[in-house]
């Protein structure tokens, strides 16, 4: 199972790809905005879905998990929890 840091890195990489940015620069910029690395965009949702797929489970955004999509760290926490859960089932 991937670590919390590996999942966050994968999310930042997917975001950077979609924004055609350097992942290191994007991560530094997000950290300057706040410790949670806030990023309120559809790109974050799409990145989370792709990372979840890479981890081997589907992710369907819903109102139940919507609060996690306010920041990179929130999505990281969500995906780490889901990956850790038995059977790696999504919410």
The pLDDT tens digits for 17-53 are 998 999 999 999 988 888 778 777 799 999 999 999 9
Provide the residue range defining the domain that includes 66.
4-85
Handedness of CA 45, 48, 50, 53 (dihedral sign): negative
What's the number of domains the chain is made of? 1
In a domain, 78, yes or no: yes
Assess whether pLDDT exceeds 90 at residue 72.
Answer: yes
Assess whether pLDDT exceeds 70 at residue 91.
Answer: no
The pLDDT tens digits for 79-90 are 999 999 845 444
Computed over its alpha carbons, how large is the radius of gyration of the chain?
A: 12
Q: For residue 71, give the 3-state DSSP assignment.
A: strand
In a domain, 91, yes or no: no
| Non-local CB neighbours of 76 within 8 Å, separated by 6+ positions | 4, 7, 8, 11
Taking the C-alpha atoms of residue 82 and residue 17, their distance in angstroms, rounded to an integer, is 24
């Amino acid at each position: 199972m991937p670590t919390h840091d590996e999942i966050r890195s994968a999310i930042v990489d997917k975001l950077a790809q979609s924004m055609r940015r350097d992942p290191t620069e994007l991560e530094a910029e997000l950290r300057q905005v706040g410790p949670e690395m806030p990023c309120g965009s559809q790109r974050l949702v799409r990145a989370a879905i792709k990372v979840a797929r890479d981890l081997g489970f589907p992710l369907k955004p819903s109102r139940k998990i919507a609060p996690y999509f306010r920041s990179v760290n929130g999505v990281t926490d969500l995906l780490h929890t889901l990956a850790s859960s038995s059977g790696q089932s999504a919410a």
